[in-house]
């Protein structure tokens, strides 16, 4: 079949700033060269004819009855995006659409955000609408929250839409504003390792952690004038943490100190201080393990083994946790040795292999007429 447009959106890696986006914090993600690609053409009808490169499954969605596809595997995210797009007052055209996702599913690299963002950009493109990346990110988040029932923050969709080659984004999740920060690691590179333990945000403890942070905020609001946990300083937290139960205090401690680490990481990148960035990654992982409790033996094995490798200056889990990936800063000349060292220890300890990716930092949404 011939298509008119090729639309892509990126998977993302979060350099640092984990589990703070829904607490009003700043995060430091970057879009990856791993993409979801949508080939699309308007068909003049009232159906979205969907197919995928990764499965033989096909389906034709009625654009007037999109609610009924909520439980349909593969199609639910596309139908959700179509419904949200239409309900936002945009023109939704019937189309033929082929989805090709190169972001590993269940990896914590935001395959769902890449699918949502590229799909919405495809709807905009065939309707002749100007691409508003911020609006597309917000609509993609809305689709995931209201249709897929994942209570996600804005980071994944925003990075997928707004990524810029060779730059990370300092994203203020409360104001929904970003600053591009050149991301140059000098003689080092990012290596992503997938622990290959599937994770599902809906079935994991993601929503439980959100509830715990909200409980912490309610407790601190009795003595502080704040709208979100990210507005609480480490000094204020140490003064008032007695108001919180031990577990809830641990969750709040991670968020508040992680927000501080994000600011330090951005300063380090602006100075070209890769060593400090690496140290902050290590601190982040320890906090996610001991205070937020979202890592698990697989991610701990990958990150802690990486941290022990002489050519690695820092490593941590990235994404929601409970499976997925780590991100490590590794000497460019030692990548193969690093992968061998970490891979062998991981397989020996866990019982099955990890997968390593050497992805570059790339643009978010791209559109090409074909």
C-alpha neighbours within 13 Å on the C-beta side of residue 267: 7
Compute how many other C-beta atoms are within 10 angstroms of the C-beta atom of residue 222.
8
d(CA 10, CA 117): 8
Q: Is 323 left (phi over 0), alpha (psi -120 to 50) or beta?
A: left
Could you tell me which residues are beta bridge partners of residue 367? Answer: 7
The token pair at 31 is: 């879009």
Q: What is the CA radius of gyration of the chain?
A: 21
- Element at 98 (helix H, strand E): strand 95-101
Which residues does the annotation mark as catalytic?
Answer: 156
Measured CA to CA in angstroms, residue 238 lies from 17, 193, 234 at distances of 20, 35, 6
C-alpha neighbours within 13 Å on the C-beta side of residue 147: 28
d(CA 119, CA 47): 15
Give the CA-trace dihedral at 163, 37, 122, 112, to 10 degrees.
Answer: -70
Strand bridging mode 47-52 / 95-101? parallel
d(CA 209, CA 174): 18
Are 135 and 365 spatial neighbours (Cβ–Cβ below 8 Å)?
no
d(CA 183, CA 167): 5
The token pair at 235 is: 């000094």
The token pair at 108 is: 């914590």
Residues 6+ apart with CB under 8 A from 217: 23, 226, 228, 229, 252
């Amino acid at each position: 079949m011939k298509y008119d447009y090729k639309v892509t959106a990126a998977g993302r890696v979060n350099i640092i700033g984990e589990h703070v986006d829904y607490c009003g914090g700043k995060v430091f993600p970057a879009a990856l060269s791993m993409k979801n690609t949508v080939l699309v053409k308007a068909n003049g009808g009232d159906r979205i004819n969907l197919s995928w490169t990764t499965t033989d499954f096909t389906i034709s969605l009625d654009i007037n009855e999109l609610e009924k596809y909520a439980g349909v595997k593969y199609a639910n995210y596309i139908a959700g995006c179509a419904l949200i797009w239409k309900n936002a007052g945009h023109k939704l055209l019937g189309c033929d659409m082929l989805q090709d996702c190169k972001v590993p599913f269940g990896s914590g690299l935001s395959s769902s955000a890449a699918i949502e963002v590229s799909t919405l950009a495809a709807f905009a493109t065939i309707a002749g609408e100007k691409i508003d990346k911020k609006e597309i990110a917000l609509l993609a988040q809305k689709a995931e929250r209201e249709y897929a029932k994942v209570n996600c923050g804005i980071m994944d969709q925003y990075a997928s839409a707004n990524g810029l080659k060779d730059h990370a984004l300092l994203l203020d999740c409360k104001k929904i504003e970003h600053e591009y920060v050149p991301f140059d690691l000098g003689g080092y590179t990012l290596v992503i390792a997938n622990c290959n333990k599937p994770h599902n945000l809906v079935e994991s403890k993601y929503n439980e952690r959100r509830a715990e942070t909200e409980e912490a905020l309610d407790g601190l609001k009795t003595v502080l004038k704040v709208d979100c946990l990210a507005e609480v300083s480490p000094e204020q937290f140490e003064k008032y943490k007695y108001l919180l139960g031990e577990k809830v205090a641990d969750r709040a401690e991670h968020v508040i100190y992680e927000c501080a680490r994000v600011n330090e990481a951005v300063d380090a990148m602006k100075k070209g201080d890769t060593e400090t960035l690496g140290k902050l990654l290590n601190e982040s992982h320890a906090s996610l393990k001991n205070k937020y409790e979202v890592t698990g033996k697989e991610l701990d094995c990958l990150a802690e083994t990486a941290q022990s490798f002489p050519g690695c200056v820092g490593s941590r889990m990235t994404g929601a946790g409970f499976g997925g990936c780590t991100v490590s800063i590794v000497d460019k000349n030692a990548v193969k040795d690093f992968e061998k060292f970490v891979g062998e220890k991981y397989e020996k300890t866990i019982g099955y292999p990890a997968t390593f990716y050497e992805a570059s930092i790339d643009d978010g949404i791209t559109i090409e007429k074909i």
